[in-house]
Amino acid sequence: MPEEDVTSTSYLLGVDIGGSKIAVLARELRSEKAVYADKIKTPAEEGVGAILRLLDEQVENVPGGRASLKALGVAVPGPVDHTGHVLRAGNLKGWVDIPLREMLEDRYDVPVYVERDANCGAIGEQWFGAREGHERLRLPVARHGRGRRLVPRWPALSGRAFRRGREAGEMTFPTEGSDPPPRVSDVVGKRSIQKKAKRATGEKMSAAEALTKSQDEPRLERVTEDVVEYLSSLTVAISSLLDPEGIIFGGGTSKAGEALLKRVRERAEAHAAIRARLLLAKLGSESMLYDALWGAGKMADAR
């Protein structure tokens, strides 16, 4: 039997551009079989052009290369408007007011889907991860301190300028001695916890390690107490406003596991009746790629 001509096989490409790494996943359009995957370090300090050139290399690495690319989906660490315009992108230098979808469509001559990574993570978890039959979920992604997304029935809610609204991580809760009060993301984010833990103990550790060790390490209890307080306040706010079936906790902080969720629930229930299930995300960072691929497929179908 003659070998299949891979150049005749169209594929979808999902890309998750993060502050420290870029993950890519390509799937064949018809069979949905994964044909390529890679993770590379993000040239975060080198501007938009460096990342686009890196993306060029990844596209050529996929069997069939650029000629077989059918559609592209991209998750970025920052707010994205209805046109695929990135207002800013986290720690990526030069990523301010970037017409990313237009740039990529001109570059590859294929339809492009661009969405905030937290939104992608929520949709990915809804359909492929911790959803477990729930139709209305909320995802407090604590990865790098950004991203909390609402996932009602698809299509998701849209705001005036942004698809699927903004982030609950940008919310603030008044605290004594803080003016202005810190954002939720400033307290529960992975990097914030790591810095506080090192300051408290002199040791370098992950956010999950710090939260877990706090049970036996008094110097870390203040760090964990702040995280629990903010996550429980966020849980109460989400539950009161939206009454979701479940709230999914993802990202580095969530790796502290069920013990952290137990404390968050107990604290939240001290202030309000919480009917939502508190769940841990199952897909991790892969959830961003799942939605990026879904978006690419949607764009391909629309063309």
Question: How would you write the pLDDT of the chain (303 residues) with one tens digit per residue?
Answer: 334 444 457 999 999 998 888 999 999 988 888 999 999 999 999 999 999 999 999 999 999 999 999 999 999 988 889 899 999 887 799 999 999 999 999 999 999 999 988 777 766 666 565 555 544 444 444 433 333 344 433 344 444 444 444 455 566 666 666 667 777 777 877 888 899 999 999 999 988 899 889 888 999 999 899 889 888 988 898 888 878 887 877 766 777 888 888 999 999 999 888 888 888 777 666 778 888 888 888 888 877
Same domain, 66 and 188: no
Average pLDDT, rounded, for the chain: 80
Same domain, 157 and 227: yes
Going through 96-204 in order, the beta strands assigned E by DSSP cover: 96-98, 112-116, 137-140, 148-151
- Whether residue 161 contacts residue 225, with contact meaning beta carbons closer than 8 Å, is answered with no
Residue finishing a domain among 67, 91, 117: 117
Within-domain flag for 91: yes
Name the token pair of 172.
């603030």
For residue 36, give its domain range: 10-117
pTM above 0.85, yes or no: no
The model's pLDDT over 203-239, given as tens digits with 9 standing for 90+, comes to 999 888 998 898 889 999 998 998 898 889 888 988 8
At 27, is the secondary structure helix, strand, or coil? strand
The model's pLDDT over 118-145, given as tens digits with 9 standing for 90+, comes to 777 766 666 565 555 544 444 444 433 3
Within-domain flag for 141: yes
Same domain, 208 and 92: no
Within-domain flag for 180: yes
Going through the chain in order, the beta strands assigned E by DSSP cover: 11-17, 21-28, 34-41, 69-76, 86-88, 96-98, 112-116, 137-140, 148-151, 246-249, 277-280
Within-domain flag for 296: no
Long-range contacts of 49-58 (CB under 8 A, 24+ apart): 51/17, 51/22, 51/92, 52/103, 52/104, 52/107, 54/22, 55/15, 55/22, 56/107, 58/13, 58/15, 58/22, 58/24
The domain spanning residue 178 has which CATH number? 3.30.420.40
Within-domain flag for 23: yes
Within-domain flag for 188: yes
Within-domain flag for 297: no
At 87, is the secondary structure helix, strand, or coil? strand
Number of domains, the chain: 2
Same domain, 236 and 95: no
Strand partners, 151: 137
Same domain, 143 and 232: yes
Same domain, 142 and 53: no
Residue finishing a domain among 85, 117, 149: 117
